[in-house]
Amino acid sequence: MKPVKRSGPPVVLNGSIESLHARVRELIIAARRTVSRGVDLVQVHTNYTIGRYIVEQEQCGKSRAGYGKEIIKCLAEKLSAEFGRGFAKSNLEYMRRFFLAYRDRARIAQSEIGQSSPALDGKAGIAQFQIGQLAEPGSGPRPFGLGWTHYIFLLGIRNTAERDFYEIEAASQGWNIDELKRQFNSGLYERLALSRDNAGIRRLAKEGQKISAPKDLLKEPLVLEFLGLSEQARYSESDLESAIINRIERFLLELGKGFLFEARQKRFTFDGDHFFVDLVFYNRLLRCYVLADLKIGDLTHQDLGQMQMYVNYFDRFVRIKGENPTVGIVLCRKRNEALVKITLPRGANIHAREYQLYLPSKEELQKKLVEWTGNQP
């Protein structure tokens, strides 16, 4: 057999590369026969299995220096000649990394593939693919539920817990790749983690964001860069409110899961005086009203007292039987934690949260997370 050309001392590959090429080739052909429904997941499973084949072949020749790189190079040349640029060396390297990062899913991936395709005479155990569903949290490794582009992005997240969190959220919330990148760049994982203890942080990685209590809604800070106010030298609370209403869909997504928008400047009258709540939401997961008051300056005790009055009114005159207590959130540019603790009674359903009009530094958020938990992110 002819030696493969390469810089440095030649590495002679035996006939196993031909066998590897034949197995991968049959896998690709079987995948391309699959109907259009579920094409993204077909590609994910195909690339995962290609990655597994490559790793298995590397392990057979692991004593040879440069053997793995030579395998990928030779395989890329053969596949690209027949199937095109989608199987370039860089893409095959992604497939290899993909398998190594998610190798705990090998059993699930194999079971989802199904029975061997009769058209292939069972030669390589290649299968017709089936669409998998998300597993219940804590029930073991999850089936793949995202497209290949999503997984390429996720491979760049070194922290396994953080990567698992974004995979769960992207699949359950139906994020496209742009929204996944936006949530990552805004530090969603760190912002949620900063509102939780160590046990809560571990649950984020296993289950994603679960909403069962008001504290589960909270993240620190809220990132509102999509409002476009950061370029303005000055803006009022009315400007902030109008910008939120104009981009209410994005704002609801930033707030979190289960939010429905009900009203702005919701008026209620008490003892002849009129009062106005900036924004009124309903959370269908918690089955309660969520009131938001917007402040462009530092938080004051008057702001907290006002929100306490709003919450009391809704609990006594608006909430109906079967609904849970109203939650109040004061959004401010700067919060004084000591002021919050001394002003609000223990167990109050009032929360003060900072917002910012630009994407935060992930490095700074990770630093805060380490300081908060004492663990590396």
Instruction: Calculate mean pLDDT across residues 333-351.
Output: 89
Instruction: Calculate mean pLDDT across residues 233-255.
Output: 92
SS (H, E, C) the chain: CCCCCCCCCCCCCCCHHHHHHHHHHHHHHHHHHCCCCCHHHHHHHHHHHHHHHHHHHHHHCCCCCCHHHHHHHHHHHHHHHHHCHHHCHHHHHHHHHHHHHCHHHHHHHHHHHCCECHHHCCCCCCECCCCCCCCCCCCCCCCCCCCHHHHHHHCCCCCHHHHHHHHHHHHHHCCCHHHHHHHHHCCHHHHHHCCCCHHHHHHHHHHCCCCCCHHHHCCCCEECHHHCCCCCCCCCHHHHHHHHHHCHHHHHHHHCCCEEEEEEEEEEEECCEEEEEEEEEEECCCCEEEEEEECCCECCHHHHHHHHHHHHHHHHHHCCCCCCCCEEEEEECECCHHHHHHHCCCCCCEEEEEEECCCCCHHHHHHHHHHHHCCCC
Query: What's the pLDDT at 130?
Result: 40
pTM over 0.85: no
Is a pLDDT exceeding 80 seen at residue 233? no
Query: What's the pLDDT at 95?
Result: 96
Answer with the residue of higher pLDDT: 364 or 113.
364
pLDDT exceeding 70 applies to what percent of the chain? 81
pLDDT, the chain, mean: 83
* Domain annotation for the chain: domains and CATH numbers: 222-359 (3.40.1350.10)
